[in-house]
Amino acid sequence: LKPDKEKLDNFAIGLTAIIMPHVESQKAKEVVLYASGQLANLAEEICKRAEAL
C-alpha cells in the first residue's frame, strides 16, 4: 500500500475547511492553520518513508 500525497494533502485541506467556519478567535484560527500545516508535513513524511521501503 503506497500513500498518495495528493489525497493526504486534500484531507488536511478539507479538514481545515470544515473546522475553520466554527472557529471564532484569531488565536484558535492560527492553531487550526498550524495543525493543518503539520498534517501536510506528516503526509510528506509518510510518503517519503513509504518510498524508502
From the CA atom positions of the chain, what is the Rg in Å? 13
pLDDT of 43 over the 70 cut: yes
Question: How far apart, in whole angstroms, are the C-alpha atoms of residue 38 and residue 41?
Answer: 5
Residue type, 20: M
The answer to whether 44 and 6 have CB atoms below 8 angstroms apart is no
Question: How far apart, in whole angstroms, are the C-alpha atoms of residue 53 and residue 46?
Answer: 11
pTM exceeds 0.95, yes or no: no
Rounded to 5°, the CA angle 53-1-36 comes to 90
For the segment 6-23, the average pLDDT, to the nearest whole number, is: 89
Q: Where in the chain are the domains?
A: 5-52
pLDDT of 21 over the 90 cut: yes
Model confidence at 1, pLDDT cuts 50, 70, 90, reads: low
